[in-house]
Chains A and B, each alone.
Chain A
């Protein structure tokens, strides 16, 4: 499987944010987008997630499920956590697992997801009572609860403490080792062996 982005052009209003960007992420590889604030890291990730329309170029998941759109094969972790404050951590997770997994909830996968991000003591607590870092972990648990090949992570480590960053790094490492693909924008290195960096935005910053 291979995420292939060719000659991508993205406009936001009258401004051209991404101009002729090409890259590929192979199966079992994590690509980290780096660049100054405003370089377009978020724009690239949101475009791959299908939330922003492209002005030119192509995005394809080669070797993926031809029956499903690219966004439906990807996990998108944005700046917001997509948690409902009145539902417990487990209810939030079960909802996303059911919604993103086509109605089938694998109880073992939910338990594994709670365990992976050390959420078991918090499972029965409404998400509204959690701290910012705990909410982020509850959000990230979505990645484990429903298996999807491509992970799109936009600043996944925001509000996480060092121990939680290590938990995330471990999960990303396992996903990559299992042949998954990761496209991330982060300022904190995840410390992966197979991590590749792509610097973007230098040209548009100069233009």
Chain B
């Protein structure tokens, strides 16, 4: 397992040294959300009603931007092949990379969401729930996205293909993430049920993602 932490630490260090990816994702998130009131007009009731949906969809798109880089750099410089000759099973190596992606992209995006909620007149009572659902839901984004990143690793213009492959997989996370928030602000569905299902989706992807990604990597590096 020590190889797991070594790889995780290196990926986080590289994120700090090279920057870029996180800043781009956060900037993209900010711009997409900021454009909504401009496009829809200053109807505060409308904005606060659609705020959870806008925040979640923009978050998915922002996270999608950073997915291709999970494996790309390691593949280009040959690191991926050396990683495959380590003692660590490739499944755990891909899990370490997904965890690094979640820490460096998922968490910052989830923490930026309440700030952007201000732009959309999100109800005050929804803020804690918004951050909680995003922190619980974003691991699914990293770990399901991992599979797409591995499958499209050596495809030309893989980024577009990646979006087509991965976005449909995000639909359950989106539905239950928004349901949990709207329940907390007086919507029809129950908060606890939605929140638990959201957690279940993340746990499920935590197991499936690395196994599928490792299989895809083995196929790609042949």
Contact = CB atoms under 8 A, between A and B. Distances in A.
Contact of A84 (B6, B14, B84, B222): B14
A72 B86 contact: yes
A194 interface: no
Given A68-B87, A87-B14, A99-B6, 12 more contacts: A51-B221, A51-B222, A52-B222, A72-B87, A76-B81, A80-B78, A82-B77, A84-B10, A84-B14, A84-B73, A95-B6, A103-B3
B79 A82 contact: yes
A119 interface: no
Contacts of A87: 10, 13-14, 17
A180 to B, nearest CB: 16
Interface string A72-100: 10111011111111110000000110111
A98 B2 contact: yes
A84 B10 CA distance: 10
A80 B75 CA distance: 10
A98 B6 contact: yes
Contacts, number: 77
A86 B86 CA distance: 22
B5 A71 contact: no
A82 to B, nearest CB: 4
A102 interface: yes
A181 interface: no
Nearest to A68: B87
Given A51-B221, A82-B77, A84-B14, A102 B87 contact: yes
B82 interface: yes
Contacts of B222: 12, 51-53
B7 interface: yes
Contacts of B13: 87
Given A52-B222, A87-B13, A87-B17, A102 B3 contact: yes
A82 B3 contact: no
A96 B221 CA distance: 20
Contact of B77 (A81, A95, A103): A81
A96 B88 CA distance: 12
6 contacts: A72-B87, A81-B77, A84-B14, A100-B87, A104-B2, A142-B82
A35 interface: no
Interface in B47-87: 73, 76-79, 81-87
B interface secondary structure, majority: helix
Given A86-B17, A86-B18, A100-B85, A78 B6 contact: no
B82 A50 contact: no
A70 to B, nearest CB: 9
Contacts of B2: 98, 102-104
B153 to A, nearest CB: 14
Nearest to A69: B87
A18 interface: no
A82 B84 contact: no
Interface in A17-55: 49-53
B5 A103 contact: yes
A198 to B, nearest CB: 22
A50 B6 contact: no
A142 B83 CA distance: 13
Nearest to B10: A95
Interface in B170-222: 221-222
Contacts of A12: 222
A87 B77 CA distance: 13
Interface in B18-50: 18
Given A98-B6, A103-B3, A103-B5, A51 B87 contact: no
Interface string B77-110: 1110111111110000000000000000000000
